[in-house]
Amino acid sequence: MADFFSLLNKGRTIMCAPSANSKKKALEDIAAIIEQDTGLSKADVFDALSSRERLGTTGFGGGVAIPHCRMPSVSDPIACLIRYEQTIEFDAVDGAPVDLLFVLLVPDTANETHLALLASLAERLQTTSLADKLRQASNSDDLFDIAKSA
């Protein structure tokens, strides 16, 4: 099975200026990036991620959030990585604002794949200095290169 980082491409690995000032705006940014790169409906992606957030925050802690959901219109897992230049409030479990968002969309029926991808990502974030390395990126190309070498 693929890991989160093997699912990334340059179109979905973005370093954003400080445009998002809320979780809602960040989810809108994610939906727009995914729509532009995959053709999935921005409204559908936003609605699916927002519905998942209503179940409980995906703010992981340490400045990281992992918004994720299952969608019937997704045929293969999709990953997106966004680094904001300024932190945003995301209701993280540790109360800290977030600047790194690791986004995962999976097919509606891919329960095991979904959980395995989330678990491997969480483990990598807890056991490495990956988040610190990603925060050193100076642009989207750097961010992509660091993520792909993770």
CATH number at residue 46: 3.40.930.10
For residue range 15-41, what is the model confidence (pLDDT) as tens digits? Answer: 876 667 889 999 999 999 999 999 999
Strand duo 78-88 + 68-71: pairing = unpaired
Q: What is the pLDDT of residues 82-110, one digit of tens each?
A: 999 889 999 999 999 999 999 999 999 98
Measured from the Cβ of residue 56, the count of other Cβ atoms closer than 10 Å reads: 9
Tokens of 7: 């699912």
Residue 85, token pair as written in the block: 């230049």
Cα–Cα dist 28/78, whole Å: 16
Kind of pairing between the strands at 78-88 and 98-107? antiparallel
**Between 124 and 20, residue with greater pLDDT:** 124
Q: Which of 67, 65, 78 is nearest to 110 (CA)?
A: 78
Q: What is d(CA 11, CA 87) in angstroms, rounded to the nearest whole number?
A: 22
pLDDT of 19 reads 66
- Domain that includes residue 25, residue range: 4-148
Residues classed as catalytic: 68
Q: Work out how many domains the chain is built from and give that number.
A: 1
Q: What is the mean pLDDT of residues 54-58?
A: 93
The Cα 3–Cα 7 span in angstroms is 7
Q: Can you give the pTM of this predicted structure? A: 0.93
